[in-house]
């Protein structure tokens, strides 16, 4: 491996509408590594992904994120994409009237030529289309799919596949997959996972798989497993941790980390007061 | 494929591309400013018109002077009728072939890409330059079938019976102040006649543009589609920029007889100081189909509500309207459908975008008369607002005098979604690029209805409008 970048998250604190959701998260991912992030509903997994990608509503109140020492938090979302960060969304957004192909050609052009000025040529149609079709074939997607409007009327599984198609085309250094397995049928989990593995093998992508279930991790095999609870990573280990959660659930975590459990319960209660509970 | 075209035009940056203008020293005739009986008579005389046409104009003038300026719709208080020149003739004669067209005018057309359009469609080209049509041609086979496509001035001379029979019958002189004004001072515009059963398979097109300062443009278009005939008429327009107010007030009258079809496509991009006050109306007879596709960009104020009166059983009307209101602009656009016979059906789809303090209003009328049983109508208007300074409003007027009808009305207003922007930006698109893509997606359902060339132009224009609007 020629270059190996390091994505370092240190003591990251994130608030939404003034409420602190992440209370100091530490996580380091090297290119080529596979990490899994698990944790109960509402523990802040998606919050971490959004904050990494630079969503304007997620306010970073402390800590740092760097790639090879370079600050990421000061970057706009598009700059982060160009710096090699990719997020497969838990709930991808529909863009009516914009075809998958048109969108993706813009995306690929920008990410592959970070120096491109707006208005300069897009990557040649022919090359682009050929490459896109190859990736679609590998993901078992109909070519017609490229003409559909992005995420509009896509089934749950189609949305997730489309996210992985984007991953494959954008070849990021670091990819966060936020519950990519949810909504996928059993075969699709395998196909999509193989897609992720292919990308990461080819481009040495460091992968952070966020999931509730063991299944996807039997295909995308993590070396490191982290458990997020009450806004902090409370447990870290290897694949055995997944087995334990699968067998026992989160009760032992709640028992072991009463302070985090208290914070989590508090947050949940405050959400319910406002009627926005998960 | 619209997508490919979209991609091709992405990246056009020359903001002033449509801001060029020729010098106006070469005009053969200019009327003075302001409107009097003398000016109207002079216009009629210069055009060597028959007495009936002169009477028509004078009646128009009389009505115009009597009618108050409308106070609904947009703000017309700054429009000064005395400060407008009502007639200008760009050249003395009418160009028969491309070679006859004066170089300066050709130059303007070149910049608009007309020769290309000509090559591509090889159809009739009626291009209105200033007040009069200077170049016009029609494919021979169409001519052989009896299709007439000429400017309305020529039609008055060569087809007086047809013109006299229909002119002012769809939109009477007294319909509104601006229809009256147009009746008094009209010049140019297209006359189209499609004989029974003739299907014109290529779009007929005309390009318009205003050039001189304070120059009014009052074209008058009359389209007659006989029984079972079909035509698609396309009118595109890009205009240069000026320093002072200007008025454009056209009238378009269309008759579609039994079983006929007519589609009228317009894209207009006026300079920001132009009042664009247009009356467009079609009558659809039994089982006829009338479709208006209307794209409005630019101008200071546009008031335009293409109408379809369905007067025969089974007639159909469709109105697709796109409006883009930028800084200092008010687009008051929409459509009118009148169901005056049983089993008629109509659809209005309106999409508006407002940005940089622009205002887009949808104003629509849906009317079903007593006895128009089994009629159906569906109205959908979607507005997209790009920033907090911009505005959108909806004024739907509905008058239903029949019980046995099916009516649907949906309206939505959305802001450019934060989540949509974030999603696209997380894939490497800049804020401006992401907004442009979202906007072009928003109007895509209408753009894909346009002939390919116009789809390209529309996307190009949207791109220009969007540039510099964000960040
Ligand atoms: N936009 C928002 N507005 C208000 N609260 C939010 C918002 N986004 C997240 N939250 C709150 O932040 C907390 C963490 O949510 P987050 O989506 O990060 O959880 P998660 O771990 O991804 O959960 P899940 O497993 O259900 O996907 C929750 O209490 C949630 O309600
Ligand atoms: Mg989540």
Residue among B3, B10, B441 whose CB faces A96 most closely: B441
CA distance B7 to chain A (A): 7
Per-residue pLDDT at B254 = 98
Per-residue pLDDT at B124 = 30
- Please report where in the chains the tokens 């990519």 appear, as a residue: A180
Per-residue pLDDT at B411 = 85
Q: How far is the CA of A185 from the centre of ligand 2 (A)?
A: 19
- Mean pLDDT of all residues belonging to chain B: 80
Tens of pLDDT along A134-166? 999 999 999 999 999 999 999 988 999 999 999
CB contact under 8 A, A78 and B443: no
Residue A65 predicted with pLDDT over 90: yes
Contacts of A78 in chain B (CB under 8 A): 425-431
- A114: alpha, beta or left, given left = phi > 0 and alpha = psi -120 to 50? alpha
User: Which ligand 1 atom sits closest to the C-alpha of A212?
Assistant: 25
Pocket test for ligand 1, best of A44, A180, A265, A274 (most atoms within 8 A of CB): A44
Tell me the three state secondary structure of residue B56: helix
- d(CA A226, CA A206) in angstroms, rounded, equals 15
Those residues with Cβ within 8 angstroms of residue B73's Cβ, 6 or more apart along the chain or in another chain? B303, B332, B361, B363
Which of A109-118, A235-244, B113-122, B232-241 shows the highest mean pLDDT? A235-244
Q: Is the CB of A45 under 6 A from ligand 1?
A: yes
- d(CA B71, CA B336) in angstroms, rounded, equals 19
Kindly provide the b/e burial profile for residues B275-299, where b requires at least 16 CB atoms within 10 angstroms of the residue's own CB: bbbbbbbbbbbbbbbbbbbbbbbbb
Ion ligand 2: residues, CB within 5 A, are A 45-46, 90
How sure is the predictor about B63, in pLDDT bands with cuts at 50, 70 and 90? very high
Among A2-6, B73-77, B97-101, B250-254, the minimum mean pLDDT is found in: B97-101
Tens of pLDDT along A199-234? 999 999 999 999 999 999 999 999 999 999 999 999
Per-residue pLDDT at B92 = 40
- Please report where in the chains the tokens 């380091």 appear, as a residue: A28
- For residue B232, give the nearest of B207, B206, B277, B262 by alpha carbon: B262
pLDDT (mean) for B114-122: 36
Task: Tell which wins on pLDDT, B109 or B150.
Answer: B150
CB contact under 8 A, B10 and A55: no
Residue among B4, B11, B420 whose CB faces A119 most closely: B11
Those residues with Cβ within 8 angstroms of residue B216's Cβ, 6 or more apart along the chain or in another chain? B84, B85, B86, B87, B185, B246, B247, B248, B249
* Mutation target among B17, B423, B436, B462 for the A interface, most CBs of A within 10 A: B423
Q: How far is the CA of A278 from the centre of ligand 1 (A)?
A: 7
Tell me the three state secondary structure of residue B220: strand
CB contact under 8 A, A56 and B418: yes
Per-residue pLDDT at B98 = 52
Residue among A82, A93, A122 whose CB faces B420 most closely: A93
Q: What share of chain A is helix, strand, coil (3-state, %, to 5)?
A: 40, 25, 35
Tens of pLDDT along A234-271? 999 999 999 999 999 999 999 999 988 998 888 888 77
Tens of pLDDT along B366-393? 999 999 999 999 999 999 999 899 999 9
Per-residue pLDDT at B239 = 46
CA distance A102 to chain B (A): 6
Give burial (CB, 10 Å; 0-12/13-18/19+) of B434.
buried
CB atoms < 10 A from the CB of B467, how many?
A: 16
User: Within B35-159, where are the H helices?
Assistant: 37-46, 51-66, 103-112, 114-121, 140-144, 152-158
CB contact under 8 A, B426 and A81: yes
CB contact under 8 A, A96 and B442: yes
Sheet strand arrangement including B204-209: B132-137, B125-129, B204-209, B230-238, B261-270, B289-298, B316-325, B345-354, B375-385, B405-415
User: For chains A and B, what is the number of CB pairs under 8 angstroms?
Assistant: 106
CB contact under 8 A, A95 and B427: no
Task: Tell which wins on pLDDT, A76 or B243.
Answer: A76
pLDDT (mean) for B55-69: 96
Q: Is B124:B231 a contact under the CB 8 Å cutoff?
A: no
Among A36-45, B45-54, B76-85, B318-327, the minimum mean pLDDT is found in: B76-85
Residue B90 predicted with pLDDT over 70: no
Per-residue pLDDT at A267 = 82
Architecture of the A6-91+172-274 domain: 3-Layer(aba) Sandwich (3.40)
What is the residue extent of each domain of chain A?
6-91+172-274
Q: Is A180:A163 a contact under the CB 8 Å cutoff?
A: yes
Q: What is the CA radius of gyration of chain A?
A: 19
Residue B189 predicted with pLDDT over 90: no
A83, closest residue in chain B (CA to CA):
B428
CA distance A98 to chain B (A): 5
- d(CA B467, CA B360) in angstroms, rounded, equals 19
Kindly provide the b/e burial profile for residues A45-66, where b requires at least 16 CB atoms within 10 angstroms of the residue's own CB: bbbbbbbbbbbeebbeeebebe
In percent, the amount of chain B with pLDDT more than 70 equals: 76
Contacts of A119 in chain B (CB under 8 A): 10-13
How sure is the predictor about A69, in pLDDT bands with cuts at 50, 70 and 90? very high
CA distance B412 to chain A (A): 14
Tell me the three state secondary structure of residue B118: helix
Tens of pLDDT along A88-112? 999 999 999 999 999 999 999 999 9
Residues in B lying within 8 Å of A, measured between beta carbons? 1, 3-4, 6-7, 10-13, 417-420, 422-433, 437-438, 440-445
ipTM of the complex: 0.95
Among A224-228, B12-16, B203-207, the minimum mean pLDDT is found in: B12-16
Task: Tell which wins on pLDDT, A222 or A117.
Answer: A222
- Please report where in the chains the tokens 């995306």 appear, as a residue: A107
How sure is the predictor about B103, in pLDDT bands with cuts at 50, 70 and 90? low
Q: What is the DSSP string of A184-219?
A: --HHHHHHHHHHHHHHHHHH--EEEEE-S-SHHHHH
């Amino acid at each position: 491996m020629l270059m190996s970048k390091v994505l370092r998250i240190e003591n990251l604190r994130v608030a939404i509408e003034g409420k602190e959701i992440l209370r100091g998260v530490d996580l380091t991912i090297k290119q080529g590594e596979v990490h899994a992030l698990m944790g109960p509903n509402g523990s802040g997994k998606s919050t971490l992904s959004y904050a990494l990608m630079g969503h304007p509503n997620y306010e970073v109140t402390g800590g740092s994120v760097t790639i090879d020492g370079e600050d990421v938090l000061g970057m706009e979302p598009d700059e982060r994409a160009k710096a090699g960060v990719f997020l497969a969304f838990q709930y991808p957004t529909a863009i009516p009237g914009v075809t998958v192909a048109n969108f993706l050609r813009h995306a690929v052009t920008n990410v592959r030529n970070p120096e491109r000025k707006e208005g300069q040529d897009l990557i040649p149609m022919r090359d682009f289309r050929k490459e896109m079709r190859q990736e679609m074939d590998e993901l078992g997607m109909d070519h017609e799919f490229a003409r559909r409007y992005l995420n509009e009327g896509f089934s749950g599984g189609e949305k997730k596949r489309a996210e992985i198609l984007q991953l494959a085309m954008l070849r990021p250094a670091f990819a966060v997959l936020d519950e990519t397995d949810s909504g996928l049928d059993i075969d699709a989990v395998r196909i999509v996972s193989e897609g992720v593995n292919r990308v990461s093998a080819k481009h040495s992508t460091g992968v952070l798989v966020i999931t509730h279930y063991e299944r996807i991790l039997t295909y995308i095999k993590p070396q490191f497993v982290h458990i997020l609870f009450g806004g902090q990573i409370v447990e870290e280990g290897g694949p055995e941790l997944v087995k334990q959660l699968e067998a026992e659930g989160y009760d032992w975590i709640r028992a072991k980390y009463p302070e985090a459990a208290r914070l989590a319960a508090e947050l949940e209660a405050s959400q319910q007061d406002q009627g926005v509970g998960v | 494929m619209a997508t490919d075209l979209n991609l091709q035009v992405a990246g056009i940056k020359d903001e002033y591309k449509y801001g060029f203008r020729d010098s106006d020293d070469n005009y053969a005739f200019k009327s003075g400013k302001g409107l009097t009986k003398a000016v109207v008579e002079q216009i009629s005389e210069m055009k060597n018109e028959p007495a009936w046409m002169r009477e028509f104009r004078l009646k128009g003038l009389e009505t115009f002077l009597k009618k108050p300026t409308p106070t609904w719709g947009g703000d017309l208080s700054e429009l000064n009728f005395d400060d407008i020149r009502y007639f200008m003739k760009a050249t003395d004669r009418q160009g028969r072939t491309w070679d006859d067209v004066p170089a300066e005018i050709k130059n303007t057309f070149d910049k608009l890409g007309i020769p290309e359009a000509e090559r591509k469609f090889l159809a009739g080209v009626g291009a209105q330059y200033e007040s009069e049509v200077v170049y016009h041609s029609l494919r021979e086979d169409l001519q052989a079938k009896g299709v007439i496509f000429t400017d309305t001035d020529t039609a008055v001379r060569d087809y007086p019976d047809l013109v006299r029979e229909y002119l002012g019958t769809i939109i009477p002189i007294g319909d509104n102040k601006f229809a009256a004004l147009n009746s008094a001072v009209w010049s140019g515009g297209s006359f189209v006649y499609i004989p029974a059963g003739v299907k014109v398979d290529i779009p007929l097109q005309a390009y318009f543009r205003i050039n001189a300062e304070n120059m009014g443009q009052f074209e008058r278009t009359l389209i007659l589609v006989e029984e079972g005939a079909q035509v698609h008429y396309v009118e595109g327009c890009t205009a240069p920029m000026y320093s002072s107010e200007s008025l454009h007030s056209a009238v378009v009258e269309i008759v579609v007889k039994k079983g006929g079809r007519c589609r009228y496509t317009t894209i207009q991009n006026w300079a920001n100081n132009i009042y664009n006050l247009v009356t467009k109306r079609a009558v659809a007879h039994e089982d006829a189909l009338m479709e208006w596709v209307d794209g409005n960009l630019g101008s200071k104020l546009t008031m335009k509500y293409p109408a379809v009166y369905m007067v025969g059983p089974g007639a159909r009307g469709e109105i697709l309207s796109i409006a883009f209101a930028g800084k200092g602009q008010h687009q008051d656009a929409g459509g009118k459908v009148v169901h005056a016979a049983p089993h008629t059906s109509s659809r209005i789809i309106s999409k508006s975008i407002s940005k940089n303090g622009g205002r887009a209003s949808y104003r629509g009328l849906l009317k079903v008369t007593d006895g128009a049983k089994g009629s159906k109508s569906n109205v959908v208007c979607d507005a997209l607002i790009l920033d907090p300074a911009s505005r959108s409003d909806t004024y739907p007027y509905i008058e239903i005098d029949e019980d046995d009808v099916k009516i649907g009305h949906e309206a939505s207003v959305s802001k450019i979604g934060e989540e949509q922007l974030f999603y696209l930006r997380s894939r490497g698109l800049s804020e401006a690029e992401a907004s442009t893509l979202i906007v072009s997606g928003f109007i895509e359902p209408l753009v894909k209805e346009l002939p390919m060339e116009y789809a390209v132009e529309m996307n190009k224009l949207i791109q220009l409008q969007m540039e510099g609007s964000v960040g």
